[in-house]
């Protein structure tokens, strides 16, 4: 099983000394989320950064009609049932979420919620800034995280622009791998802008091709 922690995720991305990486890693503390707990919601302004080490997270946008107050970590049992919710991203282990300067887009309707019991490593912008003042080389690590997030976002945009829909579904299946079956079809269909019926047909067709 692939290891997901701060040193492992950053050591191959920068030329920073191991001592700098280890000090940087000590700024992160583990947090646990139950299924349907909200990690990030409206009113939060990018003061935290996370590395997902276990589980699956769902970044989605609610319509104005389905908006509810979500200022703290809490349960949102019906979030994936609302047809108006738009999936913006699905985070798998090894994903960084947010950046030292911005956690979510400026929409007041965006949420990141656990689709399964999940474990993350979390730190604050203030801690990162203080550590960079102490060890300027740590700025390389922040830059590496920002670049990783941006590259993942570009890959997502490329996938969502594939045509026809079958190519989008195939790319999504490859990206999600073994996690595909653990994600509700409501989430997957809104991710690809497909109806659930169309998505189900594409998945069945792909399974038929694999069996051949």
Residue 12 sits in a domain whose CATH number is 2.60.120.10
pLDDT tens per residue across span 63-75: 655 554 444 445 5
Contact 115, 187 (CB under 8 A): yes
> Which residue range is the domain that position 65 belongs to?
6-161
Nearest residue to 129 (alpha-carbon basis) of 101, 108, 148: 101
Mean pLDDT, range 130-155, rounded to an integer? 90
In a domain? residue 129:
yes
Rounded to two decimals, what is the model's pTM? Answer: 0.78
In a domain? residue 110:
yes
Within 8 A by CB and 6+ apart from 101, the residues are 46, 125
In a domain? residue 194:
no
In a domain? residue 170:
no
In a domain? residue 202:
no
What local confidence, expressed as pLDDT, does residue 76 receive? 56
Q: How many domains does the chain have?
A: 1
Pinpoint the alpha helices (H) of the chain: 6-10, 18-25, 125-134, 139-160, 165-176, 185-192, 196-211
In a domain? residue 62:
yes
Question: Is residue 27 over pLDDT 90?
Answer: yes
pLDDT band of residue 82 (cuts 50, 70, 90) is very low
pLDDT band of residue 151 (cuts 50, 70, 90) is confident
Phi-psi region of 204 (alpha: psi -120 to 50; beta: other; left: phi over 0): alpha
């Amino acid at each position: 099983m692939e290891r997901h922690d701060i040193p492992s995720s950053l050591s191959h991305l920068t030329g920073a000394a191991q001592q700098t990486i280890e000090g940087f890693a000590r700024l992160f503390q583990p947090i646990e989320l139950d299924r349907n707990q909200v990690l990030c919601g409206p009113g939060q302004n990018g003061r935290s950064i996370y590395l997902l080490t276990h589980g699956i997270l769902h970044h989605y946008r609610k319509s104005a009609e389905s908006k509810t107050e979500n200022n703290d970590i809490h349960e949102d049992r019906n979030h994936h049932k609302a047809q108006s919710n738009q999936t913006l991203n699905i985070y798998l282990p090894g994903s960084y979420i947010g950046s030292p300067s911005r956690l979510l887009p400026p929409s007041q309707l965006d949420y990141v919620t656990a689709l399964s019991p999940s474990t993350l490593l979390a730190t604050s912008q203030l801690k990162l800034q203080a550590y960079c003042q102490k060890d300027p080389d740590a700025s390389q690590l922040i830059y590496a995280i920002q670049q990783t997030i941006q590259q993942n976002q570009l890959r997502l945009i490329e996938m969502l622009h594939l045509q026809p829909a079958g190519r989008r579904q195939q790319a999504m299946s490859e990206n999600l791998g073994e996690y595909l079956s653990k994600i509700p079809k409501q989430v997957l269909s809104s991710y690809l802008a497909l109806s659930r019926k169309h998505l189900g047909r594409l998945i069945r067709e792909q399974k038929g091709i694999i069996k051949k």
